[in-house]
Amino acid sequence: MNGFCSSARMMTALMGSGVALWALAAGTAQAQTATPADPVAAEQVDQGGEIVVTGSRIVRSGFDAPTPVTVLGEERLDQRAITNVGEALNELPSFRPLVTPATQQAAGGNIGARVLDLRGLGATRTLVLLDGKRFVPSTTQGTIDVNLIPSSIVSRTEVVTGGASAAYGSDAVAGVVNFILDRNLQGLRASVQAGISERGDGGNQNVQLAWGSRFADGRGHFMVAAEYDNSEGLGDCYTRDWCPNEQLIGNTPAGFGGLPASIRGGPAGTGTLSSGGLIVANSGPLRGLAFRPDGSTFNYDFGTIFGSNPSPLFTLGGTESGRNGFLDGILLIPPVERVVGYATGSFEFSDALKASIDLSYGRVDGTVIGSVARSTATIQRDNAFLPAGVAALLDANNLTSFTLGRAFGDLGGSVNNARNETYRAVLSLEGRIADGWRWDAYYQYGRNEFRQDYTGNVVNARVARAVDAVNVGGQIVCRVNADANPANNDSACVPLNIFGAGNVSPAAAAYVAPSGFQSTDTTQHVVAANVNGSLFALPGGDFAIAVGGEYRNDDATGAADALSTANAFWSFNGKAVTGTISVVEGYVEAVAPLLRDVSFAETLELNGAVRQTHYNRSSPGLTDSSVDATTWKVGAVWAPIEAVRFRATRSRDIRAPNLTELFGPVTLGRTTVVDPQNNGAQIQVDAFSGANQQLAPETADTWTAGVVLAPRGALGGIRLAVDYYDIDLKGAISTLGSQVLVDRCFGGQTELCQFIERNAAGTLTRVSDVLQNVSSIRNRGIDFEASYRTSVGAGSLDFRVLATHYLELSIGGVDRTGQTGFRPGTTTGVPDWIVDGTIVWTSGNFSLNAHGKYIPQGVFDTTLLGPEDDGYSPNLPNSINTNRVDSRFYLDLGATFEVDEGFEMFGVVNNVLDRDPPLAASAQGGTNQVYFDPIGRYFKVGARIRM
């Protein structure tokens, strides 16, 4: 949330300095030094009073960036008792929190990662910097896990919410997030806090320590920091009353009984399997026989079946609705442990040379439990484990086999433990060349080591072999080892009894559910240099330029077990990633202050930049490739009077596919798809996702335009900023979603049919939803920010409200604007609005704050039609009983009391009203945890020391 909860002390300092804060895109940066006449936005002020504005390489006092810049200050984290700066950023309306611990229920990879996604354009299009320098890629997607950045010494975070590739290079299509460390820290800073939900789960413990000191008469500075954070996570769906109450139930064919093709309801039972085994038959004496743990049978209660299919995937109610195999065991939030250490030292040899070195280490450990394996097996009459009563029924009805559906809850879901470690070292040099000219250079070495190990992960092919057991000479063996074909023998096969829960032997469990792993080591080298200064004078000030170059090499090597490589496991299936990308680029940027202090222009400035980039890409066994790219931007700032400022930018941005997108894993999972080719039948299919070696670069054209009002006099406490943005991304690297691929192929977009497989009967079996250069992504919206500060008695009251109104988020021709549901097999969207506000009251040593967030009523899926939508008919294959997701308002309260100078205690209650999330059947359970809180009322308490 643009860090708008400023402390009274900071605001007083800024107002006393006469700073106009026209950018207002956060307002919570630390008190900054500027001349009274100079309005500044997102400034970094060094001891010489010069300003570096994120989004630009120009160093110049009083420069105002034409691109909107949002600032998140440390005060925001303190007031909300947030110990991770990534979590604080994901509260801002301009971010889509798509990759957080709350969204990683059963997904492998970098468990617990917090990856920033500006504008909903995808995390790979958000460039993350640390003090203006690149950070080593720390996820298997080539993005940055901000868990590995030391939150305790981040003084503020600056967010450029517009294209910035010309200034900073690739990945900045959506914008730049620049973490700025407090490099002047002196003394000790420490905090300790703990949190727990009202229901007694979700425990969290956090400890932060930082110490800094000057030496050599102030010419040198040294700082160390360490953090430890332990988040215990939540249990599965059945730990929350709301969670099992909605799943997506199919009604085939659409319109049957006057009902639509899909019905949101629950708790849902299962029609094709059960936890002890269910005989799947449309009719006859075996239909609906299910197995108890002792192998005896009972008549299974299907609940309410919608449609003409007697054995649908889901039903409403019934035997398995109390705890079905699709939700059982999957954690709502996984446990995550985080350790971060940082050390930096600097020394100023002279005005011409200052050197610094930074060393950092970060580690994130997380655990997820995969979905319970589900299997449908053909059981032959001579199966060695077949209960006698069922065998008699087969004989009496002249049947030789039947189909059994089983959810292996007795095995439990696969346990995936992931560790992500990052090492980083940076040597930086900087200095002055002459008056008005500066230079800087740095070398960075970074290494990320990622590994995930999964145990108890079922291999479907082994289940099929082990289930098919026969009795040979009084010994039960796998049929493949007893038949006449020695070519199919499997000496490791152990017979598996699936008739009733709890009958799987340890040896059979070890055979059908072995262990697997994936590891990826990424090494990065960066060498960069910049020079900036003023060339000549213009009527509005000095014409300033910045020029520079950069060389970057990213190299990834990986390994995976043979079963994962063959996509044999039920879930996870990590892959080896091996490849290298080398980048050489150079840029030039200039700012021209045309006018200042004239009758129609308090300020008139132009800004422009151009960057040329060359990429070399290689991977063993593949043909090397290269690509050249040119990016540019132009911008302008015009203030007709001091209180009104207009700003606009136009940029061309480009992003080449990264290592993981080109050479990374292609993994196999399962997803639910509604098949329009078969009367809207709801079916579970194999779904491939991952890399594509044929990817081409993507380009984006971005417009931003806005106005900032900062009145003086009686209205001097009011600030208002409004900015429009329009990002048009061509050849975007993205996925369409399995459901969209199926729908588009059926609708006549034949070039997409190559990604879909059907069997001879026309039944959908597999969807390959790998990365593609999707035709386009269009993202438009309006950002708003308003603030007001006033005195109340002996204290002060600060109001701030930020909002983003999303006008369009079209991905591959599907507009996901207003979509707050997250249906399996689809892409998550963005709400029409996100509104975020804070009130802070401060008096003496005591401070109270209230934080609220509002998400309006949304659409469950913009590709579906419900009774609320134009064109709805229950006979349509994309019809649904309701296509709306309820709105939510969350209220958080916090208090801080300064017990003594340098010591304070604090407490926060999140979700004070204990609002359950709105029901929205999703791949994550009963709601969309990207936007809605699954925890409920949550308490945090702690203490801070500064001395």
Query: Which option is the CATH number for 43-48+68-234+335-367+418-453+518-946: 3.40.50.920, 3.40.50.2300, 2.40.170.20, 3.40.50.300?
Result: 2.40.170.20
Picking from 922, 942, 939, the residue whose alpha carbon sits closest to that of residue 98 is 922
- The mean per-residue pLDDT over the stretch 820-830 comes to 88
Number of other CB atoms surrounding residue 650 within 10 Å: 19
SS3 111: coil
Confidence of residue 65 (pLDDT cuts 50, 70, 90): low
Place of tokens 């009083």: 62
- The mean per-residue pLDDT over the stretch 367-386 comes to 93
Which residue type sits at 708?
A: V
SS3 756: strand
780 touches 725 (CB < 8 A): yes
> 162: which residues sit within 8 A by CB, 6+ positions away?
55, 67, 68, 175, 649, 651, 702, 704, 725
Confidence of residue 56 (pLDDT cuts 50, 70, 90): confident
Write out the H or E segment, with its range, that includes residue 704. Answer: strand 698-709
Residue 19's pLDDT is 28
Cα separation, 162 vs 175, whole angstroms: 5
> Is a pLDDT exceeding 90 seen at residue 842?
yes
- The mean per-residue pLDDT over the stretch 478-501 comes to 94
- The mean per-residue pLDDT over the stretch 6-34 comes to 30
How do the domains of the chain map onto residue ranges? 43-48+68-234+335-367+418-453+518-946, 237-327+374-407+460-469+497-512
What are the tens digits of pLDDT across the range 239-294? 999 999 999 999 999 999 999 999 999 999 999 999 999 999 999 999 999 999 99
Cα separation, 746 vs 763, whole angstroms: 13
Whole-Å CA distances, 778 to 73, 574, 858: 31, 32, 19
What are the tens digits of pLDDT across the range 723-758? 999 999 988 877 788 898 999 899 998 888 988 999
Cα separation, 225 vs 181, whole angstroms: 11
Measure CA 133 to chain center: 22
Query: Would you say the C-alpha torsion 870, 871, 875, 880 has a positive or negative sign?
Result: negative
Cα dihedral 655, 658, 660, 664 in deg (nearest 10) = 100
Higher pLDDT, 940 or 53: 940
Residue 27's pLDDT is 31
Cα separation, 139 vs 556, whole angstroms: 11
Task: Give the count of alpha carbons within 13 A of 325, CB side only.
Answer: 25
Residue 876's pLDDT is 96
Cα separation, 159 vs 126, whole angstroms: 10
DSSP 621-635: TS--EEEEEEEEEEE
Cα dihedral 167, 444, 130, 55 in deg (nearest 10) = -10
Confidence of residue 813 (pLDDT cuts 50, 70, 90): confident
> Is a pLDDT exceeding 50 seen at residue 13?
no
Dihedrals phi, psi of 147, to nearest 5 degrees = -55, -30
Number of other CB atoms surrounding residue 896 within 10 Å: 21
What are the tens digits of pLDDT across the range 757-767? 999 989 999 99
99 touches 114 (CB < 8 A): yes
- Least confident among 343-357, 695-709, 905-919: 695-709
- The mean per-residue pLDDT over the stretch 140-149 comes to 85
What are the tens digits of pLDDT across the range 317-344? 999 999 988 898 899 999 999 999 999 9
Confidence of residue 3 (pLDDT cuts 50, 70, 90): very low
Cα dihedral 146, 147, 149, 153 in deg (nearest 10) = 120
> 344: which residues sit within 8 A by CB, 6+ positions away?
181, 183, 222, 223, 356, 357, 358, 359
Write out the H or E segment, with its range, that includes residue 603. Answer: strand 601-618
Which residue type sits at 722?
A: V
Which residue type sits at 147?
A: N
Cα separation, 820 vs 918, whole angstroms: 10
Cα separation, 794 vs 791, whole angstroms: 7
Confidence of residue 139 (pLDDT cuts 50, 70, 90): confident
Instruction: Locate 449 and state its tokens.
Output: 């080591």
Instruction: Locate 662 and state its tokens.
Output: 């080109």
814 touches 852 (CB < 8 A): no
Dihedrals phi, psi of 672, to nearest 5 degrees = -100, 130
| Adjacent-strand bridge partners of 707 | 646, 722
- Angle at Cα 913 formed by Cα 910 and Cα 914, nearest 5°? 75
Confidence of residue 717 (pLDDT cuts 50, 70, 90): confident
Average pLDDT over all residues of the chain: 88
Residue 48's pLDDT is 38
Picking from 529, 777, 770, the residue whose alpha carbon sits closest to that of residue 655 is 777
Strands (E), 902-937: 903-910
DSSP 42-83: SEEE-TT--EEETT---B-TT---SS-EEEEEHHHHHHHT--
Picking from 276, 531, 605, the residue whose alpha carbon sits closest to that of residue 408 is 276
Number of other CB atoms surrounding residue 449 within 10 Å: 16
> Is a pLDDT exceeding 60 seen at residue 823?
yes
Residue 565's pLDDT is 87
Instruction: Locate 54 and state its tokens.
Output: 């994120």
What are the tens digits of pLDDT across the range 285-299? 999 999 999 999 999
SS3 588: strand
pTM: 0.86
Picking from 305, 267, 264, 309, the residue whose alpha carbon sits closest to that of residue 879 is 264
Straight-line distance from the first to the last Cα atom of the chain, in angstroms, rounded to the nearest whole number: 29
Picking from 12, 9, 158, 1, the residue whose alpha carbon sits closest to that of residue 77 is 1
Residue 32's pLDDT is 29
